[in-house]
Amino acid sequence: MLAFIPTPSISVVAIGPLTIHFYALCIITGVALAIWLGNRRFLHVFPDARGVVGDVAIGAVPAGVIGGRLYHVATAPEKFFGAHGHPGDIFKIWEGGLGIWGAITLGGVAAYLTYSNLRKSRDLPPFRYFADALAPGIIFAQAIGRWGNWFNAELFGKPTSLPWGVEIPRWARPLGYQEFSTFHPTFLYESLWCLLIGYLLLQFAHRLAPGQTFSLYIFGYCAGRLGIEMLRIDEAHHIAGIRINVFVALIVGTTSLVAFRRFSPHSR
């Protein structure tokens, strides 16, 4: 008998009046790891920058959550404003729906603005040094956050009979896939890919010029996301029959390669 990956039977736990959603717990755990590792890496190179990572995180983390949610709403407006949509559901982020593209964009802008303001009163290096220090922690955070999709029985791939397929309950299966029970665990694929990229960044960051570690993080994630998007079957908007996130990954990934070359000391 094949041992498929089961979908958890619960996604929340109540402790008195407090309700803890496992999706939110995965996100919080990932953020905590990113802050801890980023702070450790930044202080290792710039010991006088104590407290900087925490100060930046105060603004960047909420901005990242808002950006991720806005991207999700913008790319799937029918879920909230359609005939069967409820605008109030926009605030229910514990049910899933945080687009990484929006999270990195708005979170990155907030981080840059906050860091730039801190540089006015403190002797800090350019922002690219800061971004490099945070890159491995951010992608490790993404690896942890993806497990929230497992608890919510969402963002899985095409049907599969492979032994590591994830069993999806009937209520969570997309229209047209009701007769299938096991699917590609794309949340697991993306988590493992993120762990690999994070490991490689930690191993080779010291060989790269300032700004290249963060650029490589973006490119590596985009490369993996391209393959994963080809497997996913959840609802998504398409352009010429191709999921919109494929185009986003191509554009962002190409831009990151340009940035990687731009930061190379040989290109100056």
Greater confidence (38 vs 16) lies with 38
Q: Which residues pair with 182 in a beta bridge?
A: 167
Listed residue (66, 74, 57, 64) closest to 91, CA to CA: 66
Q: pLDDT tens digits, residue range 209-243?
A: 999 999 999 999 999 999 999 999 988 888 888 99
Query: Residues 253-266: what's their mean pLDDT?
Result: 93
Question: Between residues 240 and 50, which one has the greater pLDDT?
Answer: 50
Written as six digits, the tokens of 213 are 């570690």
Higher pLDDT, 144 or 15: 144
C-alpha span between 121 and 106 (Å, rounded): 24
Share of the chain above pLDDT 90, in %: 78
How many Å apart are CA 79 and CA 87, to the nearest integer? 8
Q: How confident is the model at residue 1 (pLDDT cuts 50, 70, 90)?
A: very low
Taking residues 31-51, report their average pLDDT.
Answer: 97
Beta-bridge partners for 239: 242
Asked if 131 contacts 60 with a C-beta cutoff of 8 angstroms, the reply is no
| CA atoms within 13 A of residue 131's CA, in its CB half-sphere | 25
For residue range 100-131, what is the model confidence (pLDDT) as tens digits? Answer: 999 999 999 999 999 999 999 999 999 999 99
Of 55-69, 79-93, 229-243, the one with minimum mean pLDDT is 79-93
146-202 pLDDT tens trace: 999 999 999 999 999 999 999 999 999 999 999 999 999 999 999 999 999 999 999
Q: What per-residue confidence (pLDDT) applies to 163?
A: 92
Mean of pLDDT values over 27-51: 97
What is the per-residue pLDDT for 268?
Answer: 55
* Global confidence as pTM: 0.92
Q: Give me 45's structure tokens.
A: 């190179």
The residue that leads in pLDDT, 44 or 86, is 44
CA distances from 17 to 13, 14, 20, 87 (A): 11, 7, 10, 26
